[in-house]
Structure 1
């Protein structure tokens, strides 16, 4: 099987840890680099979480330190959801510091893309800062990017403001650069997470899978945004799901504009499905997901990580 080379930009984050775990064990993917960026918590914590997770999973994918803050605006924080460390709920081993490579994220991403014999896929499950800096610094690489899958944005209402989703709102200027890059983009917006949720029976099945299942159960049980009884919404794993099992999604093409004006809608992702703006399509949006298929895929994907 020809594996798809993949670079991940992430801000772990509990649901980031789930997406990373699935990616690292997927037979179809060859994760070349993980860039830890600021996001759910500060960079020092997201970087430590990447190192702890990979050490636990016994993987050797290089990790690079990404952006410390958004391009322009002050950083925001989601520790009220993910806990003070960003990945509370499990006693991880001491991180293997040899996984950390020196240098700037944009440069290291460029080096991976330049060396690759085939086009590289990017996955963004945090703010867009790292990929925006990379696109601006190395525009010649854009032709060598297969596609970018993003968990972020909202079709309608947001979770950080009335119309803005956290990952986009964290760095709207960076998100605007990414959506205007010309790279093929597929998006898992906030609404898909509302549809893709897991309940106690599914989590019990995951917990019984082994040490990785137990770890994921523990950190997801510590996510302060929903619970297993009512249904815990899964977000970042939706991005890797688009790479591994796209048939469970319904997609609609759209022109996506990011509002970077200082207003009540600052950080909103405006998704024009009907060509109101008469602008070229720049993304495919996941507008629906088959929950039964998702739950089955989710469990099977985690099973491979044990």
Structure 2
């Protein structure tokens, strides 16, 4: 089986940790590099979290330091949700910086993509700053990219503002660049993450998946939903699911524009499903039980691969 080359842009973040863990041990994927960026918390934490995860998982994928702020606006933070360091609930052994590959993220990504004989897939599970910089600085790279898969955006109401989802609201200008890149874009929006939940019983099944499962269980157990729902909502791993388990999702084409000028709607994802001129495929539904089974099996696979 030919593995798909993959680059991950991430801002870990508890659910980012789960998405990276699945990706690093997926038999279908060849993760070429991980590009931590500012996002849920500041870059200094997302970078160290990435390095610490790789040490814990015994993997050695190169890490390239990404953007430390958005293209235009001041950075936002979700440390009230994820904790100051982004991964409250579990103490990783601290890693050194030996996996860091020097250079500007856009340049390092460009060189890796252009020298790979196969087209590369980009996974964006944080603000899309680094991918926007890549596309603007190196437009020739577009012909060598298979697709972009994003966790971000919202069909209805948001989780950052009334109409904006956090990853897109973090850098709306960057998101607009990505959606207008001309590349195939697939999106796991907020609503799919809300529905792709894990029950307490399924969380116990994850806990039973060895040290990897115990790590994820500890972090996810630290998330307390404002509405008191005991189920754990899964966000960033839904983007990996679109890539690896598309049978779990219902996809629908849409034209996506990011609001850049609105006083109250800045950062909103305007998804027009009636437009004849489409630039993305949106996951509009998820088969929750099938997704949960895939998620648990993926964690078991990661535990087996880690040994």
After TM superposition, the structure 1 = structure 2 runs for residues 101-180 of structure 1, keeping only pairs within 5 Å, are 101-180=101-180
Aligned equivalents of 1:208, 1:262: Cα separation in 2:
47
Q: Give 1:72 shift.
A: 0.5
> RMSD of the TM alignment (CA)?
1.2
Q: Give 1:194 shift.
A: 1.4
Q: Give 1:235 shift.
A: 0.1
Q: Deviations over 1:219-263 (max 9, x none)?
A: 111124469962110000000001110011000000000000041
After TM superposition, the structure 1 = structure 2 runs for residues 199-214 of structure 1, keeping only pairs within 5 Å, are 199-214=199-214
Aligned length: 303
Aligned equivalents of 2:226, 2:286: Cα separation in 1:
19
Q: Give 1:207 shift.
A: 0.7
Task: Name 1:186's counterpart in structure 2.
Answer: 186
Task: Name 2:18's counterpart in structure 1.
Answer: 18
Q: Give 1:97 shift.
A: 1.4
Does structure 2 conserve the Cα–Cα contact (< 8 Å) formed by 1:221 and 1:227? no
Aligned equivalents of 1:159, 1:79: Cα separation in 2:
14
2:299 is the alignment partner of 1:302: yes
Aligned equivalents of 1:171, 1:135: Cα separation in 2:
15
Q: Deviations over 1:51-73 (max 9, x none)?
A: 00011000000001100000000
Seen in structure 2, the aligned counterparts of structure 1 residues 5 and 227 have a Cα distance that, compared at 3 Å, is: farther
Q: Deviations over 1:189-226 (max 9, x none)?
A: 00001110001111111111101011011111112446
Task: Name 1:240's counterpart in structure 2.
Answer: 240
Using structure 2 for the length normalisation, give the TM-score: 0.97
Using structure 1 for the length normalisation, give the TM-score: 0.97
Seen in structure 2, the aligned counterparts of structure 1 residues 96 and 227 have a Cα distance that, compared at 3 Å, is: farther
Seen in structure 2, the aligned counterparts of structure 1 residues 270 and 227 have a Cα distance that, compared at 3 Å, is: closer
After TM superposition, the structure 1 = structure 2 runs for residues 64-103 of structure 1, keeping only pairs within 5 Å, are 64-103=64-103
Q: Deviations over 1:15-50 (max 9, x none)?
A: 000000000000000000100000000000000000
Query: Secondary structure in 2 aligned to 1:63?
Result: coil
* Gapped regions of structure 2 (runs ≥ 5): none
Query: Secondary structure in 2 aligned to 1:143?
Result: helix
Does structure 2 conserve the Cα–Cα contact (< 8 Å) formed by 1:200 and 1:228? no
Aligned equivalents of 1:258, 1:237: Cα separation in 2:
23
Aligned equivalents of 2:43, 2:226: Cα separation in 1:
25
Q: Give 1:114 shift.
A: 1.2
